[in-house]
């Protein structure tokens, strides 16, 4: 009789544990998806005086078209009230809009004390740059060497913001569209961190079931 009772409780525990594991796995996937929703570009500032921008598989929030000579604008990239030129030099890169072919010459621009970063001339200038809603927005990556003052200015401020198109300065925002967001690579929770948190929750719950 005692053996039967123990076995029943043991089976119930295993069922509950399996259900809990499935729930935690679902939470991990959901949180990871939410964290990356609308994230189109990741900015890497881990190398001194180098700005690297990597495209993600994020999808455009809108349909938009415009000229690559104007380009797209990463809002809130630099510290405010600092008139520092970028003085950039392309190291390498094929960053472009997903529906266009890269011309391998993406450029950076900052106007005066504008807090945003503009990326332009990333595809052939005689062809419109295209974005389609629910379609991947960008492809490729690019790295630029920039002036140390500009790098430090970005390092002190860059975290995340909206991506506007077509826009090269903050003055273009009223007539531009938001494609999605950009973020520094350390700003989005890593799946491994989420998994560790989930495993901790699972361990605590398992102890409770055992009692």
The answer to whether residue 102 scores a pLDDT higher than 50 is yes
Residues 172-188: b if buried by 16+ CB within 10 A, e if exposed: beeebbbbbbbbbeeeb
Residue 51: in which H helix or E strand, if any? Answer: strand 50-55
Same structural domain, 7 and 103: no
pLDDT at 122: 96
Question: Which pLDDT belongs to residue 158?
Answer: 87
Does one domain contain both 10 and 58?
A: no
Q: What is the pLDDT of residue 64?
A: 97
What's the mean pLDDT in 64-89? 91
121 and 199 housed in the same domain: no
- Can you give the pLDDT at residue 25? 40
If residue 96 lies in a helix (H) or strand (E), which one and from where to where? Answer: strand 96-97
Q: Residue 84: how many CB atoms within 10 A of its CB?
A: 19
Span 100-128, average pLDDT: 95
> In the chain, pLDDT over 90 holds for what percent of residues?
63
Residue 137 has pLDDT above 50, yes or no: yes
Q: Does one domain contain both 86 and 173?
A: yes
Gap between the terminal Cα atoms of the chain: 20
44 and 108, same domain (yes or no): yes
Q: Which residue has the tokens 């964290």?
A: 35
Higher-pLDDT residue of 9, 60: 60
* 122 and 159, same domain (yes or no): yes
Pull the structure tokens for residue 174: 């009223």
Q: In sequence order, what are the beta bridge partners of 163?
A: 74, 180
Instruction: Kindly state whether residues 123 and 162 are assigned to the same domain.
Output: yes
The domain containing residue 164 runs over which residues?
Answer: 39-188
Predicted pLDDT of residue 82:
72
Do residues 130 and 148 both lie within one domain? yes
Residues 6+ apart with CB under 8 A from 34: none
Same domain, 64 and 127: yes
Closest CA to 110 of 138, 131, 79: 79
Are 72 and 135 contacting, i.e. CB atoms less than 8 angstroms apart? no
Angle at which helices 191-210 and 2-36 cross, to 10°: 160
Alpha-carbon distances, residue 176 vs 118, 127, 194 (angstroms): 13, 19, 35
Looking at the DSSP bridge assignments, the partners of residue 136 are 59
| 108 and 203 fall within a common domain | no
Helix or strand or coil: residue 108?
Answer: strand
pLDDT value for 193: 46
pLDDT at 10 (0 to 100) = 52
Q: Are residues 21 and 88 in the same domain?
A: no
pLDDT per residue as tens digits for the range 145-204: 999 999 999 999 989 999 999 999 999 999 999 999 999 985 444 444 444 555 555 555
How many domains, in total, are found in the chain? 2
Is the confidence at residue 110, as pLDDT, over 60? yes
Q: The tokens of 116 are what? A: 């945003």
Same domain, residue pair 72 and 119: yes
Q: List, for residues 4-44, the tens digit of each pLDDT value.
A: 544 545 555 455 545 534 443 443 333 344 445 599 999 99
pLDDT at 7: 52
pLDDT band of residue 85 (cuts 50, 70, 90) is: confident
């Amino acid at each position: 009789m005692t053996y039967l009772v123990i076995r029943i409780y043991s089976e119930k525990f295993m069922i509950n544990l399996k259900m809990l594991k499935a729930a935690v796995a679902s939470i991990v996937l959901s949180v990871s998806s939410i964290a990356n929703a609308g994230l189109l570009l990741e900015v890497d500032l881990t190398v001194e005086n180098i700005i690297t921008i990597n495209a993600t598989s994020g999808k455009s929030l809108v349909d938009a078209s415009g000229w690559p000579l104007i380009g797209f604008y990463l809002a809130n990239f630099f510290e405010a009230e600092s008139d520092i030129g970028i003085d950039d030099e392309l190291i390498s890169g094929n960053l472009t809009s997903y529906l266009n072919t890269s011309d391998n010459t993406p450029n950076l621009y900052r106007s005066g004390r504008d807090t945003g970063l503009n990326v332009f001339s990333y595809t052939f200038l005689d062809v419109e740059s295209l974005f389609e809603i629910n379609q991947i927005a960008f492809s490729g990556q690019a790295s630029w060497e920039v002036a140390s003052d500009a790098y430090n200015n970005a390092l002190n401020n860059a975290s995340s913001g909206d991506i506007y198109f077509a826009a090269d300065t903050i003055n273009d925002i009223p007539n531009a569209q938001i494609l999605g967001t950009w973020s520094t690579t350390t700003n989005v929770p890593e799946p491994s961190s989420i998994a560790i948190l989930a495993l901790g929750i699972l361990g605590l719950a398992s102890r409770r079931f055992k009692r």
